[in-house]
Structures are given as structure tokens and as C-alpha cells.
Amino acid sequence: MKVLLVGVGGVGEAIAVIAQDRPWLQKLVLADVNLKRAQEVQRKLDNPGKCPIEWIDAGDKAQIVGLARKHSVDLIMNAVDPRYNQPIFDAAYEVGCTYMDMAMSLSTPHPTRPFQECGVKLGDYQFDRAEQWENKGLLALVGMGVEPGLSDVFARYAEKHLFDEIDEIGVRDGSNLEVRGYNFAPTFSIWTTIEECLNPPVIWEKDKNWYTTEPFSEPEVFDFPEGIGPVECVNVEHEEVLLVPRWIKCKRVTFKYGLGEQFINVLKTLKLLGLDNKDPIEVKGVRVAPRDVVAACLPDPAHLGDKMVGKTCAGTWVKGTRDGQPRQVYIYQVADNEACMRKYGVQAVVWQTAVNPVIAMELLEAGVWQGTGVLGPEAFDPDPFLALMLRYDFPYRIKEL
């Protein structure tokens, strides 16, 4: 398989580290707007000859098409902020290759009832074009990171093997990670974090379809496994709620994230000051997006690994019945930052995210996962994916609740 990797930030670097020695990978093009960053990542690889470097503007569809054709790629892997999804997605369609991302096209809140009704939903741009992709015999695998991605695979596994009927699928994400030396240092892209945390969260119910609520609503304490412990989780806009009901029969889907009081207060302050704005404004003759300024002022998550301690947990909480009896399980994966840094040289959050698209690439290349159109992870058999997890040093566990 030949892959054009658009973006070599923290997750892009981890994808390269994990994929570089896989026998099915013929070429992985490291494409980024920051050539120094691409060179930095290439130097860390054991097999840099497999991973040429290219400069790319992720917002320039024509350039993406040109690079994909130059390298005759089979798959375009989108590893940049989701604001660039449309040109990358459309470029893959024009080239005629497979597309994969880890976060779907962005939403737009309802103009008059943002905390009650959906406006443009996450992924609408992509799903509106599903028939075109299907008619062309092409596959766009959307939401194939850890959350969304692995969490969706877990949901499909639960439906297939663990339940007769499912009442609720609730993704729960929490950690006890700390970044030493910083009062505030997100371990993932602040651009994406602002987008998903300050937009109206989406909930799906069988009788109500998709609807929205207030940011940070419905707090609950979830007891995360493997020493992380109780963490307060709140509603956050996330792709699983838009993906799971399309393929899995259930009554309710939610996503809650363990952010912590300090993190929530910082996000609320950014919102209050207008610093969450992703559209450029003019400042002393220069046009700049306030959110980009916030990102530039914070440390790069890709370079925080040696300052981080703790674990992060991604998992899917499923409630329903089996053999007429109530049942609840939490299917999860825990990444320890110390182990990730020691084994792979990347921090836990980006490693945990990156393993999943690499496993998906292997399944696609082997023809084990096949499909056309715009599909989420739930559309595929989960068993081959879970079988590969141990081979990727990526164990999962199932906890009865």
C-alpha cells in the first residue's frame, strides 16, 4: 500500500512510527506545511527511505490531487485538523483512491435553537456525498481514530457478541495524565478540543433522533479502570453519536469526556473572550484566527511526552440485555505514557489514536475490510480488528459493570 499522510503532527508522527516497518506498507509520504517538522519525524524513523517528504497545503485540493498522483497512492490519510476535511476528502474522490480520517467534517450549530436542535451535523458534508463515492466504487472510511474509531469497533463487537438488545451505547473517555511544568497544556490538538467541547453536544435517541444540549451538560462520575479512578465526565460533541446509530441497533447513544474543572473553565473563558473563533479577524493589518493564536501560545502536544505522567483510557460503555438478563460492560483500551515513550518515542494520547488507522490500513490492504461509499468503523466486522490489536501491542479489556 502507498499512503499519502497529510499532516505529521503528533498523531501523524505516531502513524509513521507504527506503520513504517509493516510488510504491507510500500510507501508513506510525509506531507506537511512545516517541512522542518516533516524532516524531524523522518529522522526518528528506522526506515526513512520508505517515507519521503513533501510540502503540502492541506486546504489546497489541487495540490493534494497532484501529490497523490505523483506518488500513485492507494490511500490518502487525513491527519490534520478537521477544518481541512473537505478539500482532502474531495481530492481523494477526484484521484480515485481510498480516503481515511479520524474526525469527520465539521458541524454548524442550529441558527436559532443551537441547544435543542442540530444544524449541520458532524459528517453531513461527507455522508451527503456517499452515493457518489459508492457509484464510483470508492471507499471513504471516516472517524477511524480512537474516539471515534476504536470506540465504534467496540460498539459493533458488543452488538455482535455480548448483547441481545442494547439500550445505550455511551463512549466514556478519561485520564489521570499530568503535564509537569505547565499550568495548562492540552495533550491533544487545542484547535480540535475547542471545536468539540464548545459546540452543542449531540445525543441520539431512537424516538427523538439526533438532538443537542448545552456544552458540559449532564455531569456524571465514571470510575475508570487500571488505577485512573473516578473522573467527572460531561457531554461533548463527538462523531460516535453521529456514526453508531447508522449501523447499530440501539435506543440511545452518548459521548462524555472527563475534562476536569480547570479545563472546562479555561474553555469557557476562551468562549467568553471570543478566542474560540476559527474565522480570521483583522489585527493591526494582519488577518488571523483567534483560535490559531491560542494554539500558537500553547505547547505543541507532540513535544510534551517527556513531561507527561499517567494513563489515558478510551472505552465504550454498553447497557442492555443478554439471555433476558440486564447487562452492562465497559470495553476499553488504556495507554500508559511512560510505556509509550519508552517503546515508541511518542506520548500516550497520540499513540492511542494512531494505532487504529494503521490497523485499518492493514485490513483494507489485505481485503479483509471491503466496502464502497462513506462508511464508519461500525460498517465492518470487528473481529479481525480486535484480533490484530495484540499484534500491535494494543491490548483491550472487557469489564462487567
Q: Is residue 298 classed exposed, middle or buried when 0-12, 13-18 and 19+ CB atoms within 10 A define those classes?
A: middle
Q: Where in the chain is the domain with CATH 3.30.360.10?
A: 150-346+395-400
Per-residue pLDDT tens for 99-158? 999 999 999 999 999 999 999 999 999 999 999 999 999 999 999 999 999 999 999 999
What pLDDT, on a 0 to 100 scale, did the predictor assign at position 346? 96
What CA–CA distance (Å, rounded) separates 279 from 42? 32
Ordered DSSP codes for 129-153: THHHHHHTT-EEE-S-BTTTBHHHH
- Give the global pTM: 0.95
**pLDDT per residue of the chain (401 residues) written in tens, 0 to 9:** 999 999 999 999 999 999 999 999 999 999 999 999 999 999 999 989 899 999 999 999 999 999 999 999 999 999 999 999 999 999 999 999 999 999 999 999 999 999 999 999 999 999 999 999 999 999 999 999 999 999 999 999 999 999 999 999 999 999 999 999 988 888 888 888 898 899 999 999 999 999 999 999 999 999 999 999 999 999 999 999 999 999 999 999 999 999 888 889 999 999 999 999 999 999 999 999 999 999 999 998 888 899 999 999 999 999 999 999 999 999 999 999 999 999 999 999 999 999 999 999 999 999 999 999 999 999 999 999 999 999 999 999 999 99
CATH class of the domain comprising 150-346+395-400:
alpha beta
Q: State residue 190's pLDDT score.
A: 87
Domain with CATH 3.40.50.720 in the chain: 2-100
CATH superfamily of 2-100: NAD(P)-binding Rossmann-like Domain (3.40.50.720)
Q: What angle do CA 86, 91, 94 make, to 5 degrees?
A: 130
Residue whose entry in the numeric block shows the C-alpha cell 480516503: 99
Instruction: Give the pLDDT confidence of 200-239 residue by residue, as tens digits.
Output: 999 999 999 999 999 999 999 999 999 999 999 999 999 9
Residue 386 contacts residue 380 (beta carbons within 8 Å): no
| Cβ neighbourhood burial of 69 (10 Å; 0-12, 13-18, 19+) | middle
